[in-house]
Amino acid sequence: MVFARGGRNNAAMNDRRAPRILLGITGGIAAYKTPDLVRRLRERGAEVQVVMTVSARQFVAPLALQAVSGREVRESLWDPAAEAAMGHIELARWADLVLVAPATAEFMARLVHGRADDLLATLCLATAAPLHLAPAMNRLMWSNPATQANVASLRARGVALHGPASGEQACGETGEGRMLEPVELAEAVFAGVGLSRPLAGRKVVVSAGPTRERLDPVRFLTNRSSGKMGYAVAQAACEAGAEVVLVSGPVALPAPPGVTRVDVESARQMYEAVHAALRGADVYIGAAAVADYEPAQVAPEKIKKEAPTMTLELVKAPDILASVAALEPRPFVVGFAAETQRVEEHARAKLERKRLDMIAANRVGDGLAFDRDENALTVLWDGGREELMTAGKLDLARRLVALVAARMAAQSRPASNVVHVRR
């Protein structure tokens, strides 16, 4: 076994409730990026409430934002239904963080002067939550002394600014003033305040990649797993605040930053490494395509090509999922069903047969899942299901980790918790 240490996260346990982000959108061209920004924030486990200015409607439709956020978009300080119960104060208290993206020069100027002439500006004055801005404007507007004075004033008051970036702008000019891309902005916001860390204080063990079962010194049995899904799950768990140990079969992938990797080859080596790593662990995510069978005997020398046929005797390899599910006290166990047909039916049967708490199922075969950068999952548990639609494997892994963390919190089990994803 080979160990590659990438660091350890010692974050304290945090509130298991999903972080609440109030996303304010002002009237800049960069507003067209905000549906993607909402998606990126939700991938990291946040609830997102959108509040728009009147000008923002010229660049992005409220219906699009409602579709990706799952919440009705708020726009007016004078909404009779919402304001009957002082809705702007309720929103100001609801938020764990207020993010304004894009933040125009005009809006920042209003903040500096304490204006409360629309819903978003009023919320920024009325909230005790951290205020973050993602400036976006023409390069000359950004460099104007008035804007820079406003920036200095806002920073002095504790307002966090992310960006702007430098590059080509909508007006055709090039320079500083671009809003950060949604992925960069989401990561910057979460890193800065420790949001969406439902696994903070947890130790997570992830297994990933294929195994190789030796036939002789030069040949082995293996499978098509690339390890991409497992490595994405390890990264997502690390982003969620966990200390992560990644037990990996042979793959051509670098360990995610902050993750400790243990390299193994065979199913038996992976079995041993996983159980060793589980000591003190809270979560096990088995993202490996472990061999179901191994050769009964390994030839000490290369098998020569002599007879026209050859018969191999195979025996069952160690079942890592079953062995972990049998531990006492009983952990929270999630299995993974990779099927070529009747996917949900087979997954449900496995859920019951192995007495799992949750199972993630997907269809595999030619052109599906293996060796690809995208995947899709159907996650099942007793009395519930959720479709994780086709997405990049890292995005999908973040959604899966968030769902597992939510289920763990719902069941409030203090014992070790296990996730088994097979790829």
Catalytic residues: 171
- Taking the CB of residue 224, how many other CB atoms lie within 10 A of it? 11
Alpha helices in 306-392 (DSSP H): 320-325, 343-353
Residue 139: name the closest of 161, 106, 158, 165 by CA: 165
Residue 287: name the closest of 270, 272, 303, 300 by CA: 270
And the tokens for 288?
């490996």
Angle subtended at Cα 59 by Cα 125 and Cα 56, rounded to the nearest 5 degrees: 15
CA 325 to the chain's CA centroid: 25
Give CB contacts under 8 A, 24+ apart, made by 367-370.
Answer: 369/229, 369/338, 369/423, 370/224, 370/225, 370/226, 370/423
Element spanning 101, H or E: strand 97-103
CB within 8 Å of 148: residues ≥ 6 apart:
142
And the tokens for 392?
């990049």
**What is the rounded end-to-end Cα distance, in angstroms, of the chain?**
21
At 240, give phi and psi (nearest 5°): -80, 5
CA distance 35 to 83: 26
Q: Is residue 248 within 8 Å of 208, Cβ to Cβ?
A: yes
CA distance 407 to 340: 27
Q: List Cα–Cα distances, 412 to 44, 363, 408, in angstroms.
A: 21, 31, 6
